[in-house]
Amino acid sequence: MLRQDAWCYAGNYPDGVTCFGSTTKVPPEKAVAANCSAVREWDANGTNFGFNPAIGNTRGEFGHNDFYPVAVAAAQIAGCDGKQTLYAMVCLDEIRGRLAEAFALRDYKIDHVVHGAIASAAVYGAMLGATVDQIESAIGTVVAHYIPFRAIRHGTQLSDSKGASAALSAEVAVTAMRRALRGFVGPADIFRNPQAIFCLFEAPEQPNSSPFDLRFCTGGDDFAVMDMHFKIGLYEHQSAGAIQGLIDVLSANPQLLDDVAAFQKIRISIYQPAFGIIGDPAKRNPRT
């Protein structure tokens, strides 16, 4: 649906980008929306869990690697090769992942895609040569103007909205960055702004400061993406441990499969918010 929407804007744009499976150029934010939605619907991307005890940031916000099309779009415009594009993806996940460790959006009913939108604006701008001030303006615009709440996902039935949250946030991130590149100035210093979501919900101890510190990896192998879970099949992320546990038990005791009917009960321990996701009764009886 979002790809059809993107094609409504088809034209000979100098900075045009294509949707997956197409050679038709559309504005980059429209292609990003369509492509991010596509990868979300495939549901094969990874998940971060926002837990880094080594530096004391353990807020546990989750999120998914659905924002890679932002890097792909910028790469098409800038003429980047595959290696450069992969670096951009790692950078995007580094920003998104470290934010998830430091600030739990879900505590305030804000959708987790905000962290991805911030990362998308930063990486898209950096790939296209934006200045630090331009990137700051774009991030400030995203946080001040485009905060999605969990109302997106509320309810028992499926909707286009639930699957397009990352896509629409990535779209506005790219839009904000494109405007900043043309001179639009957004709110500065958004992480210290007392009326932006970060300081508003978690007031810092000192005025004119941020409620958290971010530490980014710039070398070695301790990048945020290294602690993210990537799927080896199509299943709910929160079930990965249980699936692996079952595989381990059956591998060590193959005779258990001789009489499957003998199994009476399998007990699985799970934590919140994982249970709230995988144990949602509505997911067992979809009607749309």
Is a pLDDT exceeding 80 seen at residue 238? no
Looking only at the bridges linking them, the beta strands covering 17-18 and 25-26 are antiparallel
pLDDT of residue 288: 65
pLDDT single digits (tens) 248-288:
999 999 999 999 898 888 888 877 767 777 777 777 776 76
Task: Provide CB contacts within 8 A for 287, sequence distance 6+.
Answer: 157
Question: H or E stretch including 135?
Answer: helix 132-145
Residue 73 burial class via C-beta count within 10 angstroms: exposed 0-12, middle 13-18, buried 19 and up: buried
Domains of the chain: 2-231 (1.10.4100.10), 235-288 (no CATH)
Tell which residue, 37, 47, 28, 3, has the closest CA to residue 164. Answer: 37
Instruction: Give the 3-state secondary structure of residue 52.
Output: strand
Name the average pLDDT for the chain.
92
On whether the pTM is more than 0.85, the answer is yes
Q: CA of 10: how far to CAs of 6, 7, 175, 181, in Å?
A: 7, 5, 17, 22
Lowest mean pLDDT among 108-112, 160-164, 204-208: 160-164
